[in-house]
Structure 1
Amino acid sequence: MNKNLILHAGFHKTGTTALQTCYFKNYENLKKVGLLFPNTGITFIKGSPRDGACSGHDNLLRMASIRSKTLIRKLETEGIYSHMTTLLSIENISHPFMSHKVFEQNLIDLLDMLPKYEKKVLVYTVKRPEKMFRSLYSELITGGNALYSEKYDTFFDNIINKADEYKKKLNTAKKLGFEIKFIFCSGNTIDHFEKFLLENNLINKKPSLNIENTITYSSPSLEHETIIREINGLGLSRALTRRISKKILEMPTDFFYNAGLEFERRHFDEELLNKHYKFINYVLNDFGFKIELIKDLSYQVNFVNILPNNIEEVLLILGFEEKYNQKSIFKLLNTLKLILKRTISTGHFYSRRIGFWNIVPNGLKDQLLNQLRKLI
């Protein structure tokens, strides 16, 4: 019996969480058709909006880098060489901003740990690039890491600059003996992946999968994403940024509009859309894979900009009472003016929005009150 190793390496935001969770929950059912999806090395996400999600075999990759004998014993106990195919799903092995040198070392570590496979396949699930990268951007912005604050256009330009790194990763895998395969997922990733396994004789029959309670995550609303992006750019500590972002994500979108916030919406322009297809096809074309540009209204991707574009005012309007707005008296004055104007126009006094009054230095309170009197 041929022993096959499949390394599912992404791409991010192509239904990987759903696939990983489904296969983890169908461990025994998959073994019956010759596929081992090891329990060893499985990672579950903690401390982010995707808390509790299965993120594949990230722990296995970390343990392979230190040549963990305990890890190898656990894998052998699961029977890694007694099944027709072993599938490892590690999308972070080829993160967009990971260098090809790190990628190469990760592959070498895995192959050193698992040397007995006759056939090795590196497989990527792929979706329409404008959706794939737009969803990745949203996850990075709202995921609580506080590292990303640029607008999408800048973010994708940085991705484009990594095009040659992407190609080097694929060529590196080929030199290490991997076959390179791509699965275009126009719908359910679980169904497309199953079809791939059957067509390539990597399992001996169609598996019986229980897909109930499979965890999937929808992206936050564009309004949530935009507010958190601006918060990420405030220069606050990462811990504080995470805490604020978590509270923002708990707020329903309607709350932002009811609080008087305004948003400006726009679509991808044609130039940006074309950039996505030019990029993905440049990366994948050497391996005989191409995605055609399909323009349809149902697949439009949007952006949102917040008005006014002052996140410190927005935080106050949303009821945050921490010391975000002490950089200048003018910011405090502008915030109070905005609150008072909304109070006059709506007839509702936004008293809970100005809880920061107690943090205003005494020497400034008279100036603030004088400004308020001028508005009345």
Structure 2
Amino acid sequence: MAPPDPKARKARRAALRPTGGLKAFADAKRYDESLVLGPTQKHVLSKEGRDLSRRQDIIHPSEMSHGDWCPKATYLRIKNLRDGGTFTKEAFGFQSLNIFQHGHEVHHKWQTWLWQRGVLWGEWKCLNNEGQCNWSFYATAPSQCPNCDSTNLEYAEVPLSAEEELLIEGSADGFVPDIQALMEFKTVGEGTLRFEEPELLKAHTHKTVDGKSLVDYPALWKGINRPFRSHQKQGQIYLWIAEILGINADKVVYIYESKFNQGTKEFVVQRRQKLIQPLLDSAQEIKDALDHDGPVPECPRGGCKHCEPKSAEKEKESGQETASAGKGSPRTDRPAARRQGTVVRRQATRGDSRTPDKPRRADG
């Protein structure tokens, strides 16, 4: 009788471990006897599960800017909702939610500083619930609500919608009219590098004499000399929508804040629509398929876990990778007109973006 295979035993144990929401609940159960941590984890996980405010019937700039974006999966999600289906929200564990919350707080910090400087423009919401105001308005660094004079205001960022054009909708972290710049605030940690710049992380990870891996964090942070590719694409999509809405922005200023040592960096990227034209073409294909019974957009990898989860699982089991020219590589068999860019862009009239009026489409 052959001795048991340690690798096979390890694989069976891994298969039995809870994942997703079940894992998050199991992790929280460990702290049942704690005074603060366990109850707080359960509270956060429960609250996250009830939050369904993020729209799923549009295309998010953050999803389409990543190299593994699957237009077919986005089409299927939106079509399912239009046909009366439901959307199952991805379950995150407490650690992931904690990371997200840290990012939100960093955004709030930088936005508050720009507000205090008197340069931050965007949508503001009055939180004077006692006076039942709840007014929403656009302005540059206001000190009070124009409707009720309350100073209890909240910054709602810069909503950017091209739903009418290409079903795309998102929001920039801020806008500074004096320098005509949209703002994006990003926190950078080891996980960020693992996803966005794995080669850079690998270059600054070293093996010790006992085989352990150590990351040279100071050198890693120093090695970041430009915004990550997905961040650049996201910013360019925002600039494209801003032009449609008549917001006078010609650049994106990225503020990167290190999770390693709270170091900060600034990057300035000018408008470069060529970078996102293939993404706009894919969004046009999604819209055509949904609104005009056009052909269903193809998966760039010939099938992936996002658009064909069952087939992806089978391929993973057989040890075969999905057909691809590389992660996020665009297909080359699309019609030539699509590759060259067929999206019709509206000619925006650039006006005074400091006006408190809500941005309007230049042709509307």
Fold match by TM threshold 0.5: no
TM range (shorter): under 0.3
TM-score (norm 1): 0.24
**Radius of gyration: which is bigger?**
1
Higher fraction of strand: 2
